[in-house]
Amino acid sequence: MSAIWNGASQLLLQILEFFYGLTNSFGLSIVLLTIVVRIVLYPLNQKQMTSMQQMQRIQPRLKVLQEKYANDKTKLNEEMMRLYKENHVNPAAGCLPLLVQLPILILLFNVLRTYDFAGTSFMGILLGSSTTSGLAQAVGVAEGTQGTAGVLAVLNGVLNNPAGLANVGLYLPNLLLLISISFLTWAQQKLTGGDNPQMATMNTIMPIFMAFICLSMPGGVMLYWGLSSLMGVAQQYFVMKKTKEELAIKPTLHKNKPAAGTAEDEDDDEYEDDDEEEEDE
């Protein structure tokens, strides 16, 4: 397994160096790498978008269930799972592209951590330095044996030497990129989950989790992740816009009502009534 991981790291480094030969800029090389990865993952992202569209179509039925079983969470979860199964919807599909990209993120982290950028920057972002490392330098905190500084040590340094924060060039561009990544992560989760209550917790946790992770990430890794997230949000926005246009023309609230005399749950009658009310309007 270690050999595979090392081989993948070497391959990623060769790709970066190839792009560097074309652009003479490590920053632009990372930008090109991001675009290539997004293209490769396009089929997976498209599947995610399709699942998201299906989630939008069943929102009226979800609202009916939430109102009917407001005081019975167990029954509500059962009915929601049945609804997802009927419509072939996976409410967690929005997390799949994120999980697939994590190995690439880790590989890029290893490459940039071991590569000597000699202070290389891109649009002010220090590609080989993390936000915590930049803050540590700014306030005069000594880094550990592995070339990193702990978050608590940095916070303590800021309290003891707040004047050091005036050295904004050492950390501010990386910090702004970190904040942007957290916001984009929130936007991606919000667009993907919509009003789905099961995704509400994820909408809160993921931005905080990404902000914590990015504190120790080299600027080059954050550049990759930030650009990838921006492209993802743009793609999701256009898909959501298309979905709303489709729903405005012909909303899909439920499946065909079962034939009379069958032993089906009364929910179908409620969905039918809900649909008829919309048609009357």
In degrees to the nearest 10, what's the CA dihedral of 22, 23, 26, 27?
-140
- Residue ranges of the alpha helices (H) in the chain? 2-23, 26-40, 42-57, 59-68, 73-86, 96-114, 131-139, 151-160, 172-193, 200-214, 219-249, 267-280
Q: Which two tokens stand for residue 45?
A: 């992202």
The residues facing 125 across adjacent strands are 122
Q: Which is more confidently placed, 20 or 243? A: 20
Contact 64, 274 (CB under 8 A): yes
Q: Which long-range contacts (CB under 8 A, 24 or more apart) does 265-272 make?
A: 267/64, 267/65, 267/68, 267/79, 270/64, 270/68, 271/60, 271/61, 271/64
Q: How far apart are CA 221 and CA 218, in angstroms?
A: 6
pLDDT at 177: 93
Q: Which two tokens stand for residue 254?
A: 């439920």
Contact 257, 272 (CB under 8 A): yes
Across the range 269-276, mean pLDDT stands at: 46
pLDDT at 252: 46
pLDDT at 32: 92
pLDDT at 59: 73
**197, pLDDT greater than 70:** no
Across the range 127-141, mean pLDDT stands at: 83
Residue type, 191: L
pTM of the model: 0.69
Residue whose entry in the numeric block shows the structure tokens 């023309």:
249
